[in-house]
Amino acid sequence: MCGIGAVIDITSKNGLASLKRRITLELIRELSVRGSDAAGIAAYLGRRVYIRKMPGSPLSFAERLEKVKGWERARVILIHDRAYTHCSPSNNYCNHPLCTKVDDKIVSLVHNGVLMVEPPNPRAPVDSYALLEPVKKHGGLSIDAAFDMLKVPGSKAVIATDGELVVFFRDGNPLVRTWIDNKLLVLASTKEIMKRALRNAGVKKHSKIESIEAQTIYHINV
């Protein structure tokens, strides 16, 4: 069991940076109930991608991230707290977000679940890398690639982005969403985690927290 989340900014203004920072840090902390062995984020700032991940406590990761400035301006931030199953967290290739470069874009994803496939990447024997194979096959992240990702055998919840397109879906694993002022879309593994993270981040008003429909591809352009 792992925890995943995302903060997606559909505006082009920097006024939400402080809010995005608070929500991201609180999501990392709250998602730790689902995974306490590693944590990471991928933050997309235009063509630049800030990727940080490390083994160990997500709470320690959040403390370190809190001292770093700039990533909060990102339009898309993916979040992952990992629970160790196979492939040691000390091998950072196995920790999420997982990334691949296609043409001039870096595609990142976070995954919760277990896939019934052989790991395709010998450097990182973790099943989640199979979800990047459709991205390579289709020449980048797309709705078609997302449908092929959904077809990968196993149970999963996935959030993927190239910084311009964000796709997310689930089958057997939980994933919920809410909107803040119709400007920020926030995703998290469970309703309870979302509620605690938003409350701790000082968010008083948001839309109803809803579970996304299983076997359905959701997408948003930023």
pLDDT band at 125 (very low <50, low <70, confident <90, very high): confident
CA distance 27 to 110: 14
Give the model's confidence band at 15: pLDDT under 50 very low, under 70 low, under 90 confident, else very high. Answer: confident
pTM: 0.97
Q: ∠140-65-111 over CA atoms, to 5°?
A: 40
The reported pLDDT for the residue numbered 126 is: 84
Coil, strand or helix at 194: helix
The answer to whether 204 touches 178, Cβ cutoff 8 Å, is: no
Average pLDDT over residues 76-84: 97
* pLDDT at residue 90 is higher than 80: yes
- Lowest mean pLDDT of 20-24, 106-110, 115-119, 199-203, name the range: 115-119
* % of the chain surpassing 90 pLDDT: 88
> What number is the average pLDDT over the span 149-173?
96
174-212 pLDDT, tens digit per residue, is 999 999 999 999 999 999 999 999 999 999 999 999 999
Pick the more confident residue, 87 or 76.
76
pLDDT digits (tens, 9 = 90+) for 22-43: 999 999 999 999 999 999 999 9
> How far apart, in whole angstroms, are the C-alpha atoms of residue 193 and residue 33?
9
User: Tell me, what's the pLDDT at 85?
Assistant: 83
Domains and CATH numbers, the chain: 3-221 (3.60.20.10)
CB count within 10 Å of CB 101 equals 11
Confidence check: pLDDT of 152 > 80: yes
In the beta sheet, which residues pair with residue 158?
111, 169
Amino acid 124: pLDDT: 66
